[in-house]
């Protein structure tokens, strides 16, 4: 671990810990963090509030050119050079002027503050909109630092099978001389994100979500892609990325989230019915960020919904548009899970769902408010039975249904969220057969995914509800 990526873990209540690191008592609470106060270096290593220098100015319209964000692995050598220069300049601010909110540590700590230390933007409909706003200001700051407001963040398109390794610029050179490097990652430069975490089935489940609530979450629960693929990639990269409080310390975070942002954009484009929430409680969500000129600005969720027009960037086409069927409405098939805590898919239901699949439609399994151990960041595999979970044969093995990640807020396990984690998986015909098991109801089970030859501990599924859905494909003759 390099000195610039230290992680300070002190299991003290956050407010108290922060003040102690600052050497301030409770009486100094109202003191502005950015009124020219030179913060001691130790304070910068933890997650301080992003600052509150008076009333935020409203975000103004952006008149820059509309330019594409591009896959990180396809940047030209000149573009990569610029990207590295931008992060180099951002990191340099950490030492030249630690009070500059545009410095890399300050940028990383914004995510930390919004992930439990101060407030929580995960596990709800804040997730997509807040991260879009955060990346927007981050992108503008990087552009300003290299004198090029046409700079746009790239994205790490791990959903492309050819781009499953960390983008080359982030690992080459694979040492401290590279401003895009981070020494804490679990992934080596040749490791790949597993297909079961980001493959077509996972992407399809996200991109065909029928409503904004299902895709982007609600005030009290997460949408589909916030778990897999988003959280899974955090766990897979590991190190700082494996915890929300430190994730922003790895430059890969910003290109990872740029791709997550693209998924939101793609979901909107995938169907005329994929519209964002119009609930004023969502639209009026307001956050504050420092812009590229160190001006404290407020931005609302409503101001980020049209990234192309409002925020002046766009994404290239998605390969999934050609693969996605035009689906009719999702139909819910209730189960008696709430009573029996088991799942019984009767023959008739199984056959009906299989027919929908045969005709190009979709069938799904939904686990609402899923409980998982909150003692570590990990990816769990869902199986149809405790026996198949114990055998843990993986994606092509018996009883396998899908994956779900847990990303903790910090290594000390603080700020664990009680908000609902919702899992949805696309079902195949063999999966339907596993669920309609010959010996009566199935008892869903999970195991933590580990390397080969592990002896998995089987975790019975605890969820508020489990149900099924189907969506038939739209046909011209109907």
Residues 18, 104, 111, 274: which is the catalytic one? 111
Catalytic residue among 230, 256, 307, 366: 230
CB 213 within 8 A of CB 224: no
Choosing from 122, 256, 274, 307, the catalytic residue is 122
Task: List Cα–Cα distances, 238 to 184, 358, 379, in angstroms.
Answer: 7, 38, 11
Catalytic residue among 138, 163, 234, 274: 234
Contact 130, 140 (CB under 8 A): no
User: What number of residues does the chain have?
Assistant: 478
**Phi and psi at residue 371, to the nearest 5°:** -100, 135
Cα–Cα nearest to 418, from 122, 215, 206:
122
Helix, strand or coil for residue 201?
helix
163 is catalytic: no
- Total Cβ atoms within 10 A of residue 161: 12
Token pair listed for 310:
């409002």
SS3 content of the chain, % helix, strand, coil (to 5): 40, 15, 45
- In this structure, the strands spanning 296-300 and 286-290 are antiparallel
Active site residue 307: no
Work out the number of other CB atoms within 10 angstroms of the CB of residue 352.
16
The span from the CA of 471 to the CA of 72, in Å, is 35
Q: What's the half-sphere exposure (Cβ side, CA atoms, 13 Å) at 268?
A: 17
Residues 6+ apart with CB under 8 A from 259: 155, 156, 157, 158, 159
**Residue where the block lists tokens 């301080």:** 48
111 is catalytic: yes
* β-bridge mates for residue 446, sequence order: 382, 459
Catalytic-role residue among 138, 163, 256, 257: 257
Q: Which residues pair with 425 in a beta bridge?
A: 365
**Catalytic-role residue among 34, 151, 244, 404:** 244
Clarify whether 257 is annotated catalytic: yes
Burial class (CB in 10 A: 0-12, 13-18, 19+), 55: exposed
* DSSP 8-state code for residue 79: H
Say which residues have a Cβ less than 8 Å from residue 412's Cβ, sequence separation at least 6: 9, 10, 11
Kindly name the residue from 104, 131, 307, 366 that is annotated as catalytic: 131
Q: Catalytic amino acids?
A: 111, 122, 131, 230, 234, 244, 257
């Amino acid at each position: 671990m390099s000195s610039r990526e230290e992680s300070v873990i002190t299991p003290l209540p956050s407010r108290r810990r922060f003040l102690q690191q600052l050497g301030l008592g409770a009486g100094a609470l109202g003191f502005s963090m950015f009124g020219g106060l030179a913060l001691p270096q130790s304070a910068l290593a933890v997650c301080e509030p992003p600052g509150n220098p008076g009333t935020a100015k409203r975000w103004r319209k952006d008149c820059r050119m509309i330019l594409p964000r591009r896959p990180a692995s396809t940047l030209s050598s000149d573009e990569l050079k610029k990207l590295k220069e931008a992060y180099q300049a951002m990191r340099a601010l950490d030492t030249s002027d630690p009070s500059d909110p545009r410095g890399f540590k300050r940028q990383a700590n914004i995510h930390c503050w919004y992930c439990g230390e101060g407030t929580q933007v995960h596990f709800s409909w804040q997730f997509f909109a807040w991260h879009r706003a955060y990346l927007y200001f981050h992108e503008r700051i990087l552009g300003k630092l290299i004198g090029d407001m046409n700079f746009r963040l790239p994205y790490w398109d791990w959903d492309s099978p050819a781009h499953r390794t960390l983008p080359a610029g982030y690992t080459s050179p694979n040492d401290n001389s590279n401003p895009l490097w981070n020494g804490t990652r679990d992934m080596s430069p040749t490791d790949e994100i597993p297909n079961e975490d980001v493959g077509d089935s996972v992407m399809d489940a996200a991109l065909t979500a029928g409503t904004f609530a299902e895709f982007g979450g609600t005030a009290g629960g997460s949408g589909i892609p916030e778990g897999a693929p988003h959280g899974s990639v955090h766990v897979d990269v590991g190190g700082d990325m494996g915890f929300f409080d430190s994730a922003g310390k790895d430059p890969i975070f910003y290109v990872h989230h740029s791709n997550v942002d693209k998924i939101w954009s793609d979901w909107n484009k995938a169907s005329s019915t994929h519209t964002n929430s119009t609930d004023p409680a969502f639209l009026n969500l307001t956050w504050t960020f420092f812009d590229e000129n160190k001006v404290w600005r407020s931005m609302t969720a409503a101001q980020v919904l049209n990234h192309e027009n409002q925020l002046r960037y766009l994404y290239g086409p998605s390969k999934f548009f050609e693969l996605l069927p035009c689906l009719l409405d999702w139909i819910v098939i209730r189960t008696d899970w709430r009573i029996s805590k088991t799942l019984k898919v009767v023959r008739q239901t199984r056959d009906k769902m299989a027919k929908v699949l045969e005709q190009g439609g979709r069938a799904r399994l939904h686990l609402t408010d899923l409980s998982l151990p909150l003692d570590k960041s990990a990816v769990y595999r869902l199986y149809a039975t405790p026996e198949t979970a114990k055998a843990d044969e993986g994606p092509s093995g018996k009883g396998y249904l899908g994956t779900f990640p847990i990303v903790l807020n910090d290594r000390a396990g603080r700020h664990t969220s009680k908000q609902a984690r919702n899992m949805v998986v696309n079902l195949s015909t063999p999966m339907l057969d596993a669920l309609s098991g010959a010996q009566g109801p199935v008892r869903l089970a999970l195991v933590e995914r580990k390397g080969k030859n592990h002896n998995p501990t089987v975790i019975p599924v605890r969820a508020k509800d489990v149900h099924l859905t189907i969506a038939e494909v739209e046909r011209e003759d109907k």
